[in-house]
Structure 1
Amino acid sequence: MDLANMRQNGVRSIDVHCSDCSHHAIKNLDNFPGHLAVKSFERRMRCTQCGSRRIDVRPNWLEKPAMPSLTGVRFPKG
């Protein structure tokens, strides 16, 4: 997935997770061109807590806007 496709899905940031200490952060990527792959940011990142380079990067799907139900039926929460 590249940044242009991620943005088409309503997501503008990535979730950066350290494999060594489990620290995670959200990084906004509005300043980067759309042709860059999301996974290309893994080698650019370093954990700010432990300094590790073992980083996992994924789109921050939690910011994706809710889509309307195709059937009009909503499942109750809980």
Structure 2
Amino acid sequence: MLVCRFADAARYAAVTGRELVDNLANELAASRRALAGIRSDSAAWKILPILTERTGFSRNRVWEQREILGVLDAYAAQIRRAS
């Protein structure tokens, strides 16, 4: 019984993990497309994926990439539903 539950959990983790990696790769590709046409040596490529400042402060800023966070939030919700 325990071995079967462990095997089921391992299969679930493998499948959902692969989906997570695919979704993150898709978002990274979308960020690259958003920077299409920008010189390859431009500083904009150093901030790939595109980050957004969230706090509005001039110090102690928090930067985020909303699309990546959306993928991670969806993955977390999927795992919560499954458990």
TM-based fold match above 0.5: no
- TM-score, structure 2 length as denominator? 0.23
Q: Which has the higher helix share?
A: 2
- TM-score, structure 1 length as denominator? 0.24
Larger relative CO (CA 8 A, sep 6+): 1 or 2? 1
